[in-house]
Chain A
Amino acid sequence: MKHLPAHTIQVAGLQKHYVVHEKEPGLAGSLRAFFHRKTKLVQAVAGVTFTIDPGEMVGFLGPNGAGKTTTLKMLAGLLHPSGGSVDVAGFTPKERRAAFLKLITLVMGQKQQLLWDLPALDSFRVNQAIYEIPDDEYQATMREFNTILELEGILKKQVRKLSLGERMKCELAAALLHRPKVLFLDEPTIGLDVNMQVRIREFVAEYNRRFQASVILTSHYMADVTALCKRIIVIDKGQIVFDGDLGELTERAGARKVISVELARLVTLERLASYGQVQSVEGLRARLEVPRQTTSSTAARLLAELPIADVTIEDPPIEEVIGQMFGGHRPATADMVRAQEPQEVGS
């Protein structure tokens, strides 16, 4: 090989700040704001630096308002940086050149680009024309998407009559029809049921494999990220607080699982607490945090020893994981419960 593959995305010291106007509530506040507008500078992205290689899939994690979406929008050319530099596939995104736009895509939740009153197929035709996709490439892509996403039967239905999941599949297909090399996926599975989340995930993985596309994914669902990305970038307050291997991150923070139980009858909190850290109690429902390694044995013991009606095991919510990781604070509910012991669980 003559040279190593260049980075697909190169970001250095990227910043974005906004000036926001502040207004106190009420009429008096409005009047005051009319004459004296108070402004505040908000640092949405405060200098982030990273590179992403061809074919690499990276998960962006961070609490709401951390700057994930703002960063993605700058990478896609929608927002102009306040400072620093961005290079995506050799282009400066904010120039929005046609050749650049043909190489990228940005999928934002359910922001629709499909025409509401027509079958999705019509929107696809529009995209085919706009992206100047030759007929045989279009046919080939559609055949592949049909198989992976199971679009058969929903392409000819009016978009407004599709279910949320069906619509999301079509949105994704429309966004990837031109076979972009760089994918920015902002919460692509939000609001979807678990089956559909899995289907979308598989599609993204398959697309990445087939087209060697670079992917940046943000998600609230830990499962999305763990299933797809080896590398994780955690953003908090506009800055990168972690950039590395997924395994390392889960070791550092996600080494715990949450067992939710629904009890058939009352049990003392003390007894419950012997299985793990009680996070919250609500009627006959309780949430316990346990070390990842002992999750299944603890769940088995719970089932055997307590009057359990239902049990589910899940990852702690991503915001909690990150909160614990960097702030070291626990959810308030757990402290409240602990302060009140001993008491009986249930009403």
Chain B
Amino acid sequence: MKRMVATKYRDTGRPSKARTLLEVWFANMSAYRAEIVIWMLTGSIPLIMLAVWIGKAQAAGGAVGDFTPQRFAAYFLAAWVSQQLVVAWVAWELDLQIRQGILSAKLLRPLDPLWEHLAMHVTERLVRVPLAIIVIVVGLFIVPGTQLTPDLPHALLYLLSINLAFLIRFLIAYCVGILAFWFEQAIAVEELYYSIAMFLTGSFAPLDLYPVWARTIIEWLPFPYVIYYPVQILTGEANGLEIVRIIAVQLAWITIFGVLRSLLWRRGLRRYGAVGA
């Protein structure tokens, strides 16, 4: 049978999808600014660890290994900011949408729901910026002599790297959320990720202080590329070719999880279509 086509209209310009999604979601996220501040404070492990490690450094006569209080301060402030910038709750969002059937309404639209989730996350980040700046200024003031970043190129490369880090984290969370197509308790995996990531991303301590065997294993996982390595770039610990390597590995992880997410999504939709939407 002949296919129908939508009525053709003279094209008088149409809004860009990306811009509209970002504008509207920014408005939506702004409605949640108070909640977002509270969520930011719950993600404060690096700040607590900063106090712990400085205490330890002082007790040990000024430094732990090569780490002075100033170096700790730079590391954990950068880690805290990074953690703020890579937050992803899309697993919860998907879990809810899949289990309660809200996904159906989204599937009726000719757009992969991924893009809306992405817009949601990106705009939420912007709402976090003002408080993040305040925390950094206060932090730098409390530990005098702390240098967060050596120069502008490092800061700019950090911006690139932390956005890639966010994509890694976002895609991991997306894959976990998709598991809700099969398991009622998919979100437990997300909880597990959260507790593991705490240790493996470098939020608790710089990976330099980990035992060599642990460090060797961690290097082969995506986790250090979410917090630790972007922090290395910002604080000027990583330079030149090392920065290129970090970004290349980040791109590789994005590709891996991007492909995995597409595969899971396609299979998940088949299951959704089979057992009920």
Which A residues contact B (CB, under 8 angstroms)? 6-8, 10, 18, 73, 76-80, 87, 89-91, 94, 96, 98-99, 101-106, 108, 111-113, 115, 117-118, 122-123, 125-137, 178-179, 181
Chain B nearest CB from A321 CB (Å) reads 28
Q: Given A102-B110, A130-B110, A118–B28 Cβ distance below 8 Å?
A: yes
Question: Is B108 within 8 A of A129, CB to CB?
Answer: no
A-B contact pairs, 30 of them (CB 8 A): A6-B2, A8-B4, A10-B1, A77-B107, A78-B104, A78-B277, A79-B274, A79-B276, A94-B273, A96-B107, A102-B6, A104-B108, A111-B101, A111-B102, A113-B105, A115-B24, A115-B28, A117-B32, A125-B15, A126-B21, A126-B24, A129-B14, A129-B15, A129-B16, A129-B19, A131-B109, A134-B10, A134-B13, A135-B15, A179-B7
Please report whether the interface of chain B is mostly helix, strand, loop or mixed according to DSSP. Answer: loop
Question: Is B14 within 8 A of A133, CB to CB?
Answer: yes
Q: How many A-B residue pairs have CB under 8 A?
A: 119
B31 at the interface (CB under 8 A from A): yes
Q: Given A79-B276, A134-B12, A101–B270 Cβ distance below 8 Å?
A: no
Question: Is B14 within 8 A of A103, CB to CB?
Answer: no
Q: How large is the interface on B (under 10, 10 to 19, 20 to 34, 35 or more residues)?
A: 35 or more
On chain B, the residues within 8 Å of A111 by CB distance are: 101-102, 104-105
B17 at the interface (CB under 8 A from A): yes
Question: Is A135 within 8 A of B104, CB to CB?
Answer: no
On chain B, the residues within 8 Å of A6 by CB distance are: 1-2
Q: Given A101-B108, A103-B4, A129–B21 Cβ distance below 8 Å?
A: yes
A90 to B109, CA, bound (A): 18
Question: Is A105 within 8 A of B108, CB to CB?
Answer: yes
On chain B, the residues within 8 Å of A135 by CB distance are: 12-15
A96 to B20, CA, bound (A): 23
A88 to B24, CA, bound (A): 33
Question: Is A90 within 8 A of B3, CB to CB?
Answer: yes
Can you add 12 more A-B contacts, CB < 8 Å, to A98-B110, A102-B6? A101-B108, A103-B5, A115-B28, A118-B27, A125-B20, A128-B14, A128-B20, A129-B14, A131-B109, A132-B14, A134-B10, A135-B12
On chain A, the residues within 8 Å of B101 by CB distance are: 111
A178 to B111, CA, bound (A): 14
A214 to B121, CA, bound (A): 38
A179 to B15, CA, bound (A): 17
B141 at the interface (CB under 8 A from A): no
On chain B, the residues within 8 Å of A96 by CB distance are: 107
Which residue from B9, B24, B27 sits with its C-beta under 8 Å from A134? B9
B191 at the interface (CB under 8 A from A): no
Chain B nearest CB from A36 CB (Å) reads 19
Chain B nearest CB from A302 CB (Å) reads 46
In the complex formed, the residue of A with least CB distance to B273 is: A80
In the complex formed, the residue of B with least CB distance to A132 is: B14
Question: Is A137 within 8 A of B20, CB to CB?
Answer: no
Which residue from A118, A130, A181 sits with its C-beta under 8 Å from B31? A118
On chain A, the residues within 8 Å of B32 by CB distance are: 117
Question: Is A101 within 8 A of B104, CB to CB?
Answer: no
Which residue from B6, B20, B107 sits with its C-beta under 8 Å from A103? B6
In the complex formed, the residue of B with least CB distance to A138 is: B14
Chain A nearest CB from B127 CB (Å) reads 13
In the complex formed, the residue of A with least CB distance to B32 is: A117
Question: Is A130 within 8 A of B107, CB to CB?
Answer: no
On chain B, the residues within 8 Å of A132 by CB distance are: 14, 17
On chain B, the residues within 8 Å of A98 by CB distance are: 110
Question: Is B276 within 8 A of A18, CB to CB?
Answer: yes
Question: Is B104 within 8 A of A129, CB to CB?
Answer: no
On chain A, the residues within 8 Å of B5 by CB distance are: 99, 103
A108 to B277, CA, bound (A): 12
A216 to B274, CA, bound (A): 23
The 8 closest A-B pairs by CB, nearest first: A90-B3, A80-B273, A129-B20, A98-B110, A89-B4, A78-B277, A101-B110, A113-B105
Chain A nearest CB from B213 CB (Å) reads 40
On chain B, the residues within 8 Å of A80 by CB distance are: 270, 273-274
Question: Is A128 within 8 A of B15, CB to CB?
Answer: yes
On chain B, the residues within 8 Å of A77 by CB distance are: 107
Question: Is A79 within 8 A of B273, CB to CB?
Answer: yes
- The interface bits of chain B over 148-171 (1 if a CB of A lies within 8 angstroms of the residue's CB, else 0) are 000000000000000000000000
- The interface bits of chain B over 166-204 (1 if a CB of A lies within 8 angstroms of the residue's CB, else 0) are 000000000000000000000000000000000000000
On chain A, the residues within 8 Å of B14 by CB distance are: 128-129, 132-135
On chain A, the residues within 8 Å of B3 by CB distance are: 89-91, 99
On chain B, the residues within 8 Å of A10 by CB distance are: 1
Chain B nearest CB from A4 CB (Å) reads 12
A128 to B78, CA, bound (A): 40
A245 to B247, CA, bound (A): 67
Chain A nearest CB from B118 CB (Å) reads 14
Chain A nearest CB from B271 CB (Å) reads 10
Chain A nearest CB from B82 CB (Å) reads 28
On chain A, the residues within 8 Å of B24 by CB distance are: 115, 118, 122-123, 125-126
- The interface bits of chain B over 108-141 (1 if a CB of A lies within 8 angstroms of the residue's CB, else 0) are 1111000000000000000000000000000000
A96 to B272, CA, bound (A): 13
- The interface bits of chain B over 77-91 (1 if a CB of A lies within 8 angstroms of the residue's CB, else 0) are 000000000000000
Residues facing A in B43-80 (CB within 8 A) are none
On chain B, the residues within 8 Å of A178 by CB distance are: 6
A89 to B3, CA, bound (A): 6
On chain A, the residues within 8 Å of B109 by CB distance are: 101, 127, 130-131
